[in-house]
Amino acid sequence: MFRSKESGNRGAAFESVLGKGIEIQGTMLSKGSLRVDGKLQGKLQSECDVMIGHGAVVKAHIEAANVTIAGDVTGNVKCTGRLELLSSGRLRGDISVGSLVISEGAVFSGAAEMSKLAETQTQAKGVTDRQREH
């Protein structure tokens, strides 16, 4: 339906888009993927992926499966999968993630915590890879 222009999500489709001219205060809940290009203040929860587009201003606590940030975020981020800060991304807040990718030029200010789930998955993959070698 909607396609992302950022390199971090080429080909990704978003079920909902908060456009550039839209400002929301409050809690947003989504069962599907969501792209934010406008302004959001409050809380954002998604069972799927969240993309904070270039130029977006978000002052919110974010919880999602995967989060990609190309805009400006102030608030804590919790994701079970991957958090990616693109080169134009700015994040001020603490994070709890499965994996983290920070592109050159991105700004991150806060504390980071890698979840046990990610460690367990990485260890299991290492065992599987070793089994394939033998």
Confidence (pTM): 0.77
Contact 58, 52 (CB under 8 A): yes
Task: Report how far residue 75's alpha carbon sits from residue 87's, in angstroms, rounded to the nearest whole number.
Answer: 19
Query: What is the full per-residue pLDDT of the chain (134 aa) written as tens digits?
Result: 333 444 444 445 777 788 899 999 999 999 999 999 999 999 999 999 999 999 999 999 999 999 999 999 999 999 999 999 999 999 999 999 999 999 999 999 999 998 765 444 444 445 444 444 55
DSSP state letters, 18-81: E-TT-EEEEEEEESS-EEE-SEEEEEEEESSEEEE-TT-EEEEEEEESEEEESSEEES-EEESS
Per DSSP, the three-state class of 109 is strand
